[in-house]
A and B are shown apart, each in its own frame.
Chain A
Amino acid sequence: MLKYILKRVFFSLITLWLIATITFVLIHCLPGDPFASEKAIPPAIKAQILKKYDLDKPIHIQYLNYLSQLIRGDLGISMKERGRSVNSIIAVHFPYSLDIGIKAVIFGTVFGIIMGVISALNRGNSWDTTALLIAIFGVSVPSFVIAGILQFLVILISNLTGYHILPVAGFSNFNSTILPSIALGMFSVAMITRMMRASMIEVLGQDYIKTAKAKGCSPSTIIIKHGLRNAIMPIVSYMGPMIAAILTGSFVIEKIFAIPGLGKYFVDSIFNNDYTVILGVVVFYAAFLTVMVLLMDISYGFIDPRVRVHGRRKR
């Protein structure tokens, strides 16, 4: 197990190095200049600024400087928000993305699993149809449309009743995270419902469920202990990419709900040619993704008794 983890960690580091290098090359190919503004900057001042950010040095020196900084965990200083370090940008803004991200993941998995189980147990009747309709809606309607519909509904309700149930946007308390989490998690609800339904139907048809029923196990024991635990495997393997997608893909939702998350920096820094922020955020997200995938792989071993790792994985 340890050997397996070490090997994976090593490969993750190589992946990160490759990502950092490729991004470094790409941003220096970007047209435009991080310090350009409508009013021309006097050349002497510009030279001073370039010097401050080491941009006056040859590109390979810049690259080596950057790598050595990266190894020390220092992501540099933003070029747009002058003086602000990228580390502090991530430290301040990522928790907001994480907050709605985690809530979306919880919302997605809890509701997805419940709806999946309900429709599997009620195959063919109206419960099943309703759950599937919601699932189809979630898969086919993009999150930003759902976000707009939710905002519209909130305004409609507060206009009709004169009572504000939920804030339309902004980030202040738990209430303000409800709408963005729903909009962000809707796709996962739909995916998980469909996967859960399929795998639950398969599991419920297995012989050992019949045996359990014959033994006289209570229905809840059968569903939770024998059914759910076996049916949940595909969901676990889907969780890794799902968490990564939710956390890196929350940009649009953050913009619509005016949440001060990291997604804005992920996208805006490219328009601003803010080299250090682009690199910092990309490397950070890449590290986050690799860690997530690694954790999911390891967690297989704990959940599924068939995947006990002895230096070798089974799918």
Chain B
Amino acid sequence: MFKKRFFLFASISALIFLITCSCSKNNKNNDRKSSTLVFNMQEESETIDPQLVRGETGIYAVSVCMEGLTRPGKKPGEILPGVAKKWEVSKDEKTWTFYLRKNAFWSNGTPITAMDFYFGWKRALEPSTGSTYSAFLYLIKNAKKYNRGKIKNFSKVGLEVINDYTFKVRLDSACTYFPQLTVFPVTFPVNKTFYNKNKKKYGLSPYHMLYNGPWKMVSRIPGQGGMIKYRKNEYYWNIKNIKLDKLEFEIIKDDNTAANLFMNNQIDITRILPDIVNRFKDNPNFNDNIHYISDGAVWYIGFNTENKFFKNRKIRKAFSMAINRKILCNKIRKDGSEPAYALVPYNTIGDKNFTFRKEFSNKLFSENNKKARKLLEEGLKEIGAKHVQARLLLNSNPQNTKIALFIQEQLRKNLEVKIYLNQTTFKNRLQKMRQKNYDFVYAGWGPDYNDPMTYINLFTSWNPNNNTSWSHEKYDELVSLAADSPENRTRMKAMAEAEKIIINEMPIAPLFFSSRVYLVNNHIKDLIFGLGGKPIFYWAYCN
């Protein structure tokens, strides 16, 4: 009796719990509208203020809901009109005139004028704004000086509002790819009246922002099935051709969770690490969802040329030649990355219709263990040392660690050199690189715009991001020539020459051009992957 009653009590309370669990059962997945797309952004965007945003995800989140003078097209390097319906350039490629369309409006219905661009760019260059991407505008006449506080008068900067719909930009030097730069958030317009009203909160919440892109952000509150929500912006000039009504960006960092959600049909697009690709490859329901997308980054070993061993060119070359890049890409990365035997990745545009790599040779050097050993021997003799003692710096995450271990093993096997790993956090790696407090480092570089210059420029003696301490007079000369030349053919040739010098001197040893693995739901059509391997939803629709 006693026991029976107790069981009755226990089972009833258990039942009540289960019922409350299942009562609120609703078909959450079924009420997802066909014109809504759920994308896993993975990281949170730190702000949506176009001039202050600096992380990859933040830049992306802003680019969805705002538009600059131009916007990215479908093909790599292609640029389409944005707020500007057309533009003209002077013969010397130094003066750019943008004609703004009259049907471009902010999300509150006020027209977008040249003044909004002037104000936005001024804000980016204002030293007190603290915009980390202000260097993007340094091509503009006097912009660098103003940004660094050397001149106080903004009217000296090469920006001019001719009338409400004409915006003129004067550059210090020729720049054939300038319309590619105006795709970037730091160049987005800011409405002065609105900004002055919301100064303190601008960009911090969706309601304290004005949008001019195809979608506007309506919520940025965690929970409720999506961290960031966008709705169609009815004031957008090309709204007729935008097919997706709603975009929802989730922030799911864990790759396994993202994969699980994808399988459960809760998200449409997510990036995953190659380690879990096999789960989908072997599954007939999912194997056509896998997409390998090049993200335009080049990964390399950077040598600190102040280091006692790596100041020797032959040792640097020996290290580079002893690492088998094909195995690295096929067995370690497994994500469609391609071996790099040059600095500039495949999708980078060259002269006219060719990519840079198609126009110039693909393979500027090759691996050769015998040659590598010989070079190492000679190099060691030159500096009078018996063996190399060096530590490879990297920021540790499962992928990087695997690659570093592979490099360690290759050098041991092919060169009989024992190296040590120095694993640290990302921020600390950057700090050590800047302080030149490292021997050699595993690092990567992604493009800001689609032109070889974004990579070639990196190793000039004046570039603050050149952490190798390497400098080369001829190289600097060629890069300056390419930077100043209005003629595309001359530029490309000069950059190809410069690239050859890099490969010959090997201050960095390129390893691979990286790719990303995406899972994309099959009902999404016309999804384009843009610069940096990020999806562009402009033309996308759900079937």
Interface size on B, residues (CB 8 A): 73
Which residues of A, 140-170, contact B by the 8 Å Cβ criterion?
A: 148, 151-152, 154-155, 158-159, 164-165, 167-170
Closest to B4 in A: A219
Q: Are A32 and B2 in contact, with the CB atoms below 8 A? A: no
Contacts of B47 in A (CB 8 A): 81-84
Q: CB-defined interface of A205-233 with B at 8 Å, one 1/0 digit per residue?
A: 00000000000000110110000000000
- What distance in Å separates the Cβ of B117 from its nearest Cβ neighbour in chain A? 21
The CA-CA distance from A110 to B13 in the complex, in Å, is 9
Contacts of B132 in A (CB 8 A): 35, 37, 39, 41, 45, 49
Q: Are B427 and A36 in contact, with the CB atoms below 8 A? A: yes
Contacts of A139 in B (CB 8 A): none
Interface segment, one of B101-109, B177-185, B251-259: B251-259
Query: Does B464 touch A at the CB level, under 8 Å?
Result: yes
Interface segment, one of B217-225, B232-240, B404-412: B217-225
* A40-B464, A80-B46, A168-B264 known; A31+B428 contact, CB < 8 A: yes
Query: Does A114 touch B at the CB level, under 8 Å?
Result: yes
Query: Does A98 touch B at the CB level, under 8 Å?
Result: no
Q: Kindly identify which residue among A35, A93, A174 contacts B222, using a CB–CB cutoff of 8 Å.
A: A93
Which residues of A, 77-97, contact B by the 8 Å Cβ criterion?
A: 80-84, 92-93, 96
Interface segment, one of B19-27, B322-330, B341-349: B19-27
Q: Are A37 and B10 in contact, with the CB atoms below 8 A? A: no
Query: Does B390 touch A at the CB level, under 8 Å?
Result: no
Which residues of B, 170-210, contact A by the 8 Å Cβ criterion?
A: 201, 203-204
Query: Does B261 touch A at the CB level, under 8 Å?
Result: yes
* A151-B257, A170-B266 known; A84+B204 contact, CB < 8 A: yes
Query: Does B273 touch A at the CB level, under 8 Å?
Result: no
Q: Are A258 and B257 in contact, with the CB atoms below 8 A? A: yes
* A80-B46, A219-B2 known; A167+B264 contact, CB < 8 A: yes
The CA-CA distance from A45 to B51 in the complex, in Å, is 13
Q: Kindly identify which residue among A32, A42, A110 contacts B425, using a CB–CB cutoff of 8 Å.
A: A32
Interface segment, one of B123-131, B156-164, B372-380: B123-131
Query: Does A178 touch B at the CB level, under 8 Å?
Result: yes
Contacts of B222 in A (CB 8 A): 92-93, 96, 171, 260
Q: Are A271 and B204 in contact, with the CB atoms below 8 A? A: no
- What distance in Å separates the Cβ of A98 from its nearest Cβ neighbour in chain B? 13
Q: Are B25 and A175 in contact, with the CB atoms below 8 A? A: yes
Contacts of A93 in B (CB 8 A): 222
Q: Are A40 and B134 in contact, with the CB atoms below 8 A? A: no
The CA-CA distance from A34 to B426 in the complex, in Å, is 11
Q: Kindly identify which residue among A151, A165, A222, A271 contacts B426, using a CB–CB cutoff of 8 Å.
A: A271
Closest to B446 in A: A38
Q: Kindly identify which residue among A31, A41, A175, A258 contacts B424, using a CB–CB cutoff of 8 Å.
A: A31
Interface segment, one of A116-124, A241-249, A278-286: A116-124
- What distance in Å separates the Cβ of B257 from its nearest Cβ neighbour in chain A? 5
Which residues of B, 403-436, contact A by the 8 Å Cβ criterion?
A: 424-428, 430-432, 434
The CA-CA distance from A267 to B361 in the complex, in Å, is 46
The CA-CA distance from A18 to B446 in the complex, in Å, is 44
Query: Does A6 touch B at the CB level, under 8 Å?
Result: no
Q: Kindly identify which residue among A42, A52, A164, A223 contacts B29, using a CB–CB cutoff of 8 Å.
A: A164
Query: Does A273 touch B at the CB level, under 8 Å?
Result: yes
Contacts of B227 in A (CB 8 A): 260
Q: Are B264 and A158 in contact, with the CB atoms below 8 A? A: yes
Query: Does B263 touch A at the CB level, under 8 Å?
Result: yes
Which residues of B, 249-286, contact A by the 8 Å Cβ criterion?
A: 250-254, 256-257, 260-261, 263-266
- What distance in Å separates the Cβ of A54 from its nearest Cβ neighbour in chain B? 14
Query: Does A71 touch B at the CB level, under 8 Å?
Result: no
Q: Are A36 and B264 in contact, with the CB atoms below 8 A? A: no
The CA-CA distance from A90 to B464 in the complex, in Å, is 37
- What distance in Å separates the Cβ of B270 from its nearest Cβ neighbour in chain A? 11
Query: Does A266 touch B at the CB level, under 8 Å?
Result: no
Contacts of B1 in A (CB 8 A): 219
Q: CB-defined interface of A21-64 with B at 8 Å, one 1/0 digit per residue?
A: 00000000001111111111110110011001000000000000
Closest to B222 in A: A260
Q: Are A256 and B263 in contact, with the CB atoms below 8 A? A: no
Most chain A beta-carbon contacts within 10 A, residue among B133, B261, B427, B446:
B427
Q: Are A256 and B127 in contact, with the CB atoms below 8 A? A: no
Q: Are A258 and B27 in contact, with the CB atoms below 8 A? A: no
Contacts of A154 in B (CB 8 A): 264
3 nearest A-B pairs in the assembled complex, by CB-CB distance: A260-B222, A219-B2, A32-B427
Beyond contacts A37-B430, A154-B264: 11 other A-B pairs, Cβ-Cβ < 8 A, are A45-B130, A84-B47, A121-B3, A168-B264, A172-B28, A219-B1, A219-B6, A222-B2, A223-B6, A256-B256, A258-B261
Residues of A within 8 A of B (CB): 31-42, 44-45, 48-49, 52, 80-84, 92-93, 96, 110-111, 114, 117-118, 121-122, 148, 151-152, 154-155, 158-159, 164-165, 167-175, 178, 219-220, 222-223, 255-258, 260, 264, 271-273
